[in-house]
Amino acid sequence: MTKSSGPYEQYPQENLQQKSKYLLEYGARFTPMVITRAEGSYVYSGEKKILDFTSGQMSTLLGHGHPEVCETISEHAYHLDHLFSAMLSPPVLELAEKLTNLLPKGLDKAMFLSTGSEANEAAIKLAKVYTGKFEVVGLSLSWHGMTGVSGGTTYQDGRKNHGPSMPGNLILPAPNAYRSIFRKKDGSYDWETEMDYGFSLIDAASVGSLAAVIVEPVMSSGGMIVLPDGYLKSLYAHCKKRGMLLIVDEAQTAIGRCGSMFGFEASGIVPDILTLSKTLGNGLPLSAVVTSDEIAQKSADERFLFYTTHVNDPLPCAVGAKVLDIVIRDNLVQNSAEMGDLFRSELKQLQNIYKQIGDVRGRGLMTGVEIIKPETKEADGELAERLADRMMELGLSANLISVPAFGGVLRIAPPITVSKEEIMQGVAIFSRSLEEILG
């Protein structure tokens, strides 16, 4: 069913210049057009149709305006929207049951919040209450949020000119196989030695109060860096050796986005705390914190408090339950894996032609394309920006965020409902942009 054109179809584009002066800038470079409608895998600026290969802000897992999601929102807006935070409702109970039943034993209890920053804030606070310690380790290319505690574990950007961070934040080198100096004699990447060295520095810096490590299975903001095979298991062992909890932040990887239901699935470990956001709400503010019965009980005994205005709100939880149903029913995890493999295969063919494509990497429908200066392998952020701008002009949104810290990596993540035809359309625009700019 095709939706109506929407209320803003005739919105004048010149209003962008007139009215954007009232907006406070928050770090992103605004696109030079007003988006007036979104549907499926596309967004529209008036009559201009743009293939959305960033899924909004990595969130519209099922595409824009999915009919069943829209129906769920409408029904609950009329009948069960927002409640006093101590009141439970059927959507909350249903989502908690569905989500924990998808997860292994040890991820037994869930709470639902609004954003990824908030979920990580709660998870870190939970770890501190449970362990009685306060030091938290994040990876050097991490992005876990913009609020106080989650922002303190975010190292990719946003640390300069913001004053002191939370006390107790420590850093572990991110496993960037393309750029790491840690190499074996045969030149292959030696992430095990890099991790051991990183923990030796953490042990030296620690005041003896190590509480948790927080990590993403794919460091999206770090440049779509996929953790090496065995990395999570080794990281978990380092945590257990030091009495720390392992928090896995799956804001972007979960619910099929990375080609499996959850990014940690094949690692051989169960995280102590799991956080979800973006993909769970299909664009609505919905996040989750899931942990074990043991951690939940002890933290309750220690009076863990994270009581917010929108904790366990029924309307977004109803959407989350519907998203899980659709992903499972429509076999979208497999579609994510297959379409992601196809996309990267096509991009690697372009890599054989254009030496400015230094690396193509990813999992499922999370792909990073690293644009470099071939002579030096230096990241070429200026060229990446020109490519992204030309792709947008040609009808493809394929760069999740444009800020200097992201250097030359195009971060691409179509909805997991994307079709083969849409993938090939995106590849064609990517190819044309390269040809026009590089010859």
Give CA 145 to chain center in angstroms: 10
Q: How many residues does the chain have?
A: 439
Give the CATH number of domain 15-60+332-438. Answer: 3.90.1150.10
Q: Rounded to whole angstroms, how far apart are CA atoms 368 and 434?
A: 16
Active-site residue, 252 included: yes
Q: What is the pLDDT of residue 151?
A: 86
Active-site residue, 216 included: yes
**pTM score above 0.85:** yes
pLDDT mean over 182-189? 97
Q: Which range, of 84-98, 148-162, 242-256, 278-292, averages the lowest pLDDT? A: 148-162
pLDDT at 63 over 70: yes
Largest CA distance in the chain: 65
Name the burial class of residue 317, with classes exposed (0-12), middle (13-18) and buried (19+) by CB atoms within 10 angstroms of its CB. Answer: buried
Q: What is the gyration radius of the CA atoms in the chain, in angstroms? A: 22
Active-site residue, 302 included: no
**CA-closest candidate to residue 408, choices 390, 381, 386, 374:** 381
Confidence tier at 6 by pLDDT (50, 70, 90): confident
Q: Which positions ≥6 away from 417 have C-beta within 8 Å?
A: 40, 41, 61, 62, 63, 66, 330, 332, 335
Catalytic residue among 194, 252, 322, 380: 252
In tens, the pLDDT along 346-400 reads: 999 999 999 999 999 999 999 999 999 999 999 999 999 999 999 999 999 998 7
Q: What is the pLDDT of residue 238?
A: 98
Q: Which positions ≥6 away from 125 have C-beta within 8 Å?
A: 149, 304, 306
Q: Rounded to whole angstroms, how far apart are CA atoms 432 and 438?
A: 10
Residues in a beta bridge with 214: 138, 247
Confidence tier at 165 by pLDDT (50, 70, 90): confident
Catalytic residue among 249, 346, 359, 370: 249
Give the CATH number of domain 69-329. Answer: 3.40.640.10
Q: Between vectors from CA 24 to CA 145 and to CA 143, what angle results, nearest 5°?
A: 15
pLDDT mean across residues, the chain: 94
Active-site residue, 241 included: no
CB atoms within 10 A of CB 71: 11
Catalytic residue among 133, 242, 257, 278: 278
DSSP 377: T
In tens, the pLDDT along 267-309 reads: 999 999 999 999 999 999 999 999 999 999 999 999 999 999 9
DSSP 185: T
What are the distances in angstroms from CA 348 to CA 288, 356, 359, 394, 432?
A: 35, 12, 8, 21, 15
pLDDT mean over 261-269? 96
Catalytic residue among 118, 216, 250, 359: 216
- Strands in 150-254 per DSSP E: 169-172, 210-215, 218-219, 225-226, 245-250
Confidence tier at 56 by pLDDT (50, 70, 90): very high
pLDDT at 123 over 50: yes
Q: What is the pLDDT of residue 1?
A: 41
Sign of the CA dihedral with 300 first, then 306, 312, and 316 last: negative
pLDDT at 49 over 50: yes
Residue boundaries of the structural domains of the chain = 15-60+332-438, 69-329
Q: Which positions ≥6 away from 332 have C-beta within 8 Å?
A: 62, 256, 326, 416, 417
- β-pairing, 287-291 vs 109-113, is antiparallel
Do residues 295 and 130 make contact, with C-beta atoms less than 8 angstroms apart?
Answer: yes
The backbone torsions φ and ψ at residue 373, rounded to the nearest 5 degrees and listed phi first, read -90, 110
What are the distances in angstroms from CA 192 to CA 170, 218, 229, 246?
A: 19, 17, 11, 18
In tens, the pLDDT along 405-439 reads: 567 899 999 999 999 999 999 999 999 999 999 98
Catalytic residue among 37, 39, 143, 344: 143
Q: Rounded to whole angstroms, how far apart are CA atoms 141 and 134?
A: 21
Please give the share of the chain, as a percent, with pLDDT higher than 90.
84
Do residues 329 and 256 make contact, with C-beta atoms less than 8 angstroms apart?
Answer: no
The token duo for 133 is 């310690």
Q: Between vectors from CA 67 to CA 62 and to CA 69, what angle results, nearest 5°?
A: 65
What are the distances in angstroms from CA 288 to CA 99, 248, 333, 418?
A: 10, 12, 20, 25
**CA-closest candidate to residue 310, choices 344, 287, 335:** 287
Q: Rounded to whole angstroms, how far apart are CA atoms 181 and 179?
A: 7
Q: Rounded to whole angstroms, how far apart are CA atoms 75 and 267?
A: 39
Q: What is the pLDDT of residue 52?
A: 97
Q: Rounded to whole angstroms, how far apart are CA atoms 253 and 288?
A: 13
Q: Which positions ≥6 away from 1 have C-beta within 8 Å?
A: 67
pLDDT at 403 over 60: no
Per the listing, tokens 């051989």 go with: 268
Q: Which range, of 207-211, 218-222, 274-278, 393-397, averages the lowest pLDDT? A: 218-222
Fold matches, 15-60+332-438 and 69-329? no
Confidence tier at 146 by pLDDT (50, 70, 90): confident
Name the burial class of residue 402, with classes exposed (0-12), middle (13-18) and buried (19+) by CB atoms within 10 angstroms of its CB. Answer: middle
